[in-house]
Amino acid sequence: MGRPINKLNEFHKRFCAEYVSGEFAGNGTRSYLKVYPTKTPKYASIGAMAILKKPQVQAEILRLKEGAGLTDKFVYEKIHEGMNAKVTTAFRGRVIESDIPDYAARHKYLETAAKLLDMFPSQKIESRSMNIDIQIEKLPPAELAKLLTGMAKQINVNTKRKVSVLGNGENQDGA
């Protein structure tokens, strides 16, 4: 008689703990290697993907996150705080926050939010390079929106999600 399907083995429990709160939290490959160090990174990546698809592992990860206070509400509050980040400097042992927006930090928070909301396609998209030989800063907002919408349409040919470049959830044609 085999063991019950819903039961996590010791390896899965250690993997879940490492994935939620370990040194490389959120990184399946690194978590797999930490728990099972004899495997190669390529094998670890495949193994981590397989483990993360298991419903009992997903349930355990959710349980551990909630136990650590990492609820969706908490994460979204922190992302909102980060979107208002200001440049900070250390001076004589004190941290001083300026009134200057920290765009690098804000970008990282925005990127994290997009990942959490599954806004990035799960499949890799063929990258294309485009030469834009215009001075973007001199374009009127409507022209810039039109240019970006056209570029987004070219990029999104292979994806299901449409990208809004106007920031209001709508494309220029109101769709």
Give pLDDT, residue 6. Answer: 64
Contacts of 98 (CB under 8 A, 6+ apart): 86, 87, 88, 89
Give pLDDT, residue 116. Answer: 61
Q: State the pLDDT confidence band at 60, using cuts at 50, 70 and 90.
A: very high
Q: Give the model confidence (pLDDT) of 80-129 as tens digits.
A: 788 888 888 888 888 888 888 888 888 887 777 776 665 665 555 555 55
Q: Give the model confidence (pLDDT) of 10-40 as tens digits.
A: 999 999 999 888 888 888 888 999 998 877 8
Strands (E), 1-156: 86-91, 94-101
Going from N- to C-terminal start, the domains of the chain cover 10-67, 72-116, 128-175
Mean residue pLDDT of the chain comes to 75
Indicate if the pLDDT at residue 3 is higher than 80: no
Residue linked to tokens 């941290």? 95
Positive/negative CA dihedral, 109, 112, 114, 116: negative
Instruction: Select from 59, 46, 47 the least CA-distant residue to 20.
Output: 59
Q: Residues 149, 119: contact at Cβ < 8 Å?
A: no
C-alpha 9/C-alpha 13 separation (Å) is 6
Give pLDDT, residue 57. Answer: 93
pTM of the complete model: 0.47
**What value does the mean pLDDT take over residues 152-167?**
53
Contacts of 148 (CB under 8 A, 6+ apart): 165
The angle that helices 41-53 and 55-67 make with each other, rounded to 10 degrees, is 90
